Chains A and B, each alone.
Chain A
């Protein structure tokens, strides 16, 4: 598996980006940063990047590089938690909907249709409006937004696997429902799920940044990439580093997950192997 990713060009690039980000995120989360991200160096306010402040300082004289690392840590924490929740919920709902069919399938899928009738960011906003802004609300909001997508991603292939002959064979042996659901369906869903998890991580980073940008995600003084971008708006002409570095940080992280997701899709699906590049 690892070898396949490394030998796939976009897998190699995407994988490298993701690994670097995970390291940065961990460092940020455990406060291993060049400066204290909350420390205000009053004399060095809006200092351009130099040897000490790699990415300059902000209006309050805080080190942008440290805040960025902290922000990446925050974004990844929200991303991983929400995607994990969405994956679990979506897998259970999609799998049971596909297997039991009939009324349960109808109920689950109609609820998912209802959730999908809202633009992602709007649904997240609505949830935050109810529960109030904050890290855990963001996590819950993003998880709820992506649950319908995972449900669909699981249900579609699960339905087609259910119609495959090896499931028929299992039924002729009288294999238990649990055995069929886990060994036959779930095991064959690992591939599409892995792809979807990777892509969902990219989206969740995007959503988290958007929510924070609007002031409804991570609350100051904690740092997050969206907040940093929001703060840069009025200063971008005098201190462009406040805009450029967080913007690049967001873009490249999403790019990394998207590339990795694409590579995984190619690797898992022999039909699209030709479009590898």
Chain B
């Protein structure tokens, strides 16, 4: 039997001279009808370009297929080489035989057209439907991706829906004409982990219902286990390993595959939690940081003729303490208030109520040199127009110090310590990679000898293998300088590697807090359970995801609203969760 898709020796280049700028260097694979192939790789591995070459969207991004064939078996057993097909032929194939969904659902739908119009378009183009028929078909398509209240949602424009909903709309659009192949290019990377689980479940279910084949592109090898039949690992434009799911995950041959599986953090349900620090009662009296009833509310602006409808309760009554040499991870999804908590502790946001104290005394503003912060985006947190020496000097100048030989010596020593070459003092940020920049940010945070470092999604923007190295560095620095870390993250696998304790935030409140191993292996609150079961893992093969369409609750409360006092239940010496009604 001929495969649905057979790619052989595909080579793709970019720009005026594609041969010199080759991004995909001879990739071959086959895909049978109904099969799912996962393409795994880091940024720049050529995985997306490979996928875009199949439906030839790569042409519009300045790419050019240098050589190779992309044979698609069409209905009636004719074979078409997509690599040599003309644009009019390709237009007929896209959408009807090959559907595609993309990474950013927020930007992938046309902002000025209603989602109904955008779904109907596929039916008009490939099925010749018009008017009421097209609308009815669009409604069915939305029903199929389990969007409640589909008829009304057809009239919405994309800005009225959340990211997860939009990705469902994208899937509905791509699958409108029942293509036999769906290309999914990192479809869940921009989404929260529980939403990711919903989308994965939906894809798996739709695959079973329609019998379509799928190419699933991801950087997260953990995500592969749940959905793929075959896996192809790409590095620097080449397919370094491919085979059945079990073969690749359990018996990896290529060193890069082993590296991805071994060195990269995977979620292990608490088994990989750190055990190098245990709280003892004596120390408890003098924490590095004590947060007490921290509350941050933002007033919602009213209209000219309207009163303010209330406040966003971004952070509500948060308490915790952080010991020297300890890492407390604050985990939660977007909108949970985790970043606001971090920003409030650094004085970037004014708390509505509550406060915090360090061992040096109360912090009223941002000027306490004993607390420093590392931000999420290493590209935005360094001023592109300042040299590295000026960047490192800034905290010293701000604290009233002078840039003298001693300071310079400290800069050089810290750069060496975080693994950067010493001669980089005279360079500008754009001359560094993302991982190196994050190391620079860490060095900058250490310039003033802080006792507490707040890390706000500090490794989230990095490639997975770089993530692992930066995490290692953070652990070493913690031991060496006796630092306390407040580690804010959405990524459970990363948190498991660095946290001693975990606080789970949901809708602005802590719902569960305790030692990492206990929380991760034995979650008690329903949200924590949901969060942890949503984390992809290489252990969970072809798992049957439960479909769950719950939405994050609104945080806007009417004026004068006070949440009820929380009731806590204990589950072990250092593990408690909020009681649920």
Contact between A and B in the complex (any CB pair below 8 Å): yes
Q: Contacts A165-B376, A172-B372 known; A184 to B395 CB distance under 8 Å? A: no
Looking at A164, A169, A170, A184, which has the most chain B CB atoms within 10 Å of its CB?
A169
Report whether A169 and B381 are in contact in the complex, using a CB–CB cutoff of 8 Å.
yes
Considering the chains assembled together, what is the distance between the CA atoms of A166 and B343 in angstroms? 14
Considering the chains assembled together, what is the distance between the CA atoms of A171 and B373 in angstroms? 10
Report whether B383 and A172 are in contact in the complex, using a CB–CB cutoff of 8 Å.
no
Q: Contacts A165-B381, A174-B366 known; A179 to B397 CB distance under 8 Å? A: yes
Considering the chains assembled together, what is the distance between the CA atoms of A172 and B381 in angstroms? 12
Considering the chains assembled together, what is the distance between the CA atoms of A176 and B399 in angstroms? 9
Q: Is B419 an interface residue (CB 8 A)?
A: no
Report whether A188 and B384 are in contact in the complex, using a CB–CB cutoff of 8 Å.
yes
Q: Which of B366, B382, B386, B397 contacts A171 (CB 8 A)?
A: B366
Considering the chains assembled together, what is the distance between the CA atoms of A45 and B96 in angstroms? 78
Q: Is B377 an interface residue (CB 8 A)?
A: yes
Q: Is A130 an interface residue (CB 8 A)?
A: no
Looking at A170, A173, A175, which has the most chain B CB atoms within 10 Å of its CB?
A173
Q: Is A168 an interface residue (CB 8 A)?
A: yes
Considering the chains assembled together, what is the distance between the CA atoms of A173 and B448 in angstroms? 9
Q: Contacts A174-B366, A187-B383 known; A165 to B398 CB distance under 8 Å? A: no
Report whether B398 and A170 are in contact in the complex, using a CB–CB cutoff of 8 Å.
yes
Report whether A166 and B382 are in contact in the complex, using a CB–CB cutoff of 8 Å.
yes
Considering the chains assembled together, what is the distance between the CA atoms of A166 and B369 in angstroms? 17
Q: Contacts A184-B383, A187-B385, A188-B384 known; A175 to B377 CB distance under 8 Å? A: no
Chain A: number of interface residues, binned into ranges: 10 to 19
B:380-396 near A, CB below 8 Å: 380-386, 390, 394-395
Q: Is B483 an interface residue (CB 8 A)?
A: no
Q: Which of A166, A173, A174, A176 contacts B383 (CB 8 A)?
A: A166
Q: Which of B343, B385, B399 contacts A174 (CB 8 A)?
A: B399
Report whether B383 and A183 are in contact in the complex, using a CB–CB cutoff of 8 Å.
yes
Q: Is B347 an interface residue (CB 8 A)?
A: yes
Report whether A165 and B377 are in contact in the complex, using a CB–CB cutoff of 8 Å.
yes
B394-425: CB near A (< 8 Å → 1, else 0) gives 11011100000000000000000000000000
Report whether A187 and B386 are in contact in the complex, using a CB–CB cutoff of 8 Å.
yes
Considering the chains assembled together, what is the distance between the CA atoms of A165 and B373 in angstroms? 11
Report whether B394 and A174 are in contact in the complex, using a CB–CB cutoff of 8 Å.
no
Q: Which of A166, A172, A175, A184 contacts B348 (CB 8 A)?
A: A172
Dominant SS at the A interface? helix
Considering the chains assembled together, what is the distance between the CA atoms of A208 and B397 in angstroms? 47
Q: Which of A165, A175, A188 contacts B397 (CB 8 A)?
A: A175
Which residue of B has the minimal Cβ distance to A191?
A: B385
Q: Contacts A175-B397, A176-B398 known; A183 to B375 CB distance under 8 Å? A: no
> Closest Cβ of chain A: how far from B431's Cβ, in Å?
15
Q: Is B346 an interface residue (CB 8 A)?
A: yes
Report whether A166 and B381 are in contact in the complex, using a CB–CB cutoff of 8 Å.
yes
Report whether A175 and B384 are in contact in the complex, using a CB–CB cutoff of 8 Å.
no
Chain A residues whose C-beta falls within 8 Å of the C-beta of B376 in the assembled complex: 165
Chain B residues whose C-beta falls within 8 Å of the C-beta of A176 in the assembled complex: 398
Report whether B348 and A171 are in contact in the complex, using a CB–CB cutoff of 8 Å.
yes
Chain A residues whose C-beta falls within 8 Å of the C-beta of B381 in the assembled complex: 164-166, 168-169
Chain A residues whose C-beta falls within 8 Å of the C-beta of B448 in the assembled complex: 173
Which residue of B has the minimal Cβ distance to A171?
A: B366
B:344-381 near A, CB below 8 Å: 346-348, 365-367, 369, 371-373, 375-377, 380-381
Report whether A183 and B386 are in contact in the complex, using a CB–CB cutoff of 8 Å.
yes
> Closest Cβ of chain A: how far from B345's Cβ, in Å?
10
Considering the chains assembled together, what is the distance between the CA atoms of A175 and B399 in angstroms? 8
Considering the chains assembled together, what is the distance between the CA atoms of A168 and B377 in angstroms? 12
Considering the chains assembled together, what is the distance between the CA atoms of A166 and B397 in angstroms? 15
Considering the chains assembled together, what is the distance between the CA atoms of A170 and B372 in angstroms? 11
Q: Contacts A166-B383, A183-B383, A188-B383 known; A173 to B394 CB distance under 8 Å? A: yes
Considering the chains assembled together, what is the distance between the CA atoms of A166 and B377 in angstroms? 10
Report whether B390 and A172 are in contact in the complex, using a CB–CB cutoff of 8 Å.
no
Chain B residues whose C-beta falls within 8 Å of the C-beta of A190 in the assembled complex: 385
Considering the chains assembled together, what is the distance between the CA atoms of A42 and B71 in angstroms? 85
Considering the chains assembled together, what is the distance between the CA atoms of A171 and B348 in angstroms? 7
Report whether B375 and A168 are in contact in the complex, using a CB–CB cutoff of 8 Å.
yes
Which residue of A has the minimal Cβ distance to B372?
A: A172
Considering the chains assembled together, what is the distance between the CA atoms of A55 and B312 in angstroms? 72
Q: Which of B343, B372, B394 contacts A175 (CB 8 A)?
A: B394
Considering the chains assembled together, what is the distance between the CA atoms of A80 and B385 in angstroms? 27
> Closest Cβ of chain B: how far from A176's Cβ, in Å?
7
Binding site for A on B (CB under 8 A): 343, 346-348, 365-367, 369, 371-373, 375-377, 380-386, 390, 394-395, 397-399, 441, 444, 448
New A-B pairs, 11, CB < 8 Å, besides A164-B380, A166-B381, A169-B375: A165-B376, A169-B444, A170-B398, A172-B347, A172-B372, A173-B448, A174-B365, A174-B398, A175-B398, A188-B384, A190-B385
Binding site for B on A (CB under 8 A): 164-166, 168-176, 179, 183-184, 187-188, 190
A-B contact pairs, 10 of them (CB 8 A): A165-B380, A171-B348, A172-B371, A173-B372, A173-B395, A173-B448, A174-B365, A175-B397, A179-B398, A183-B383
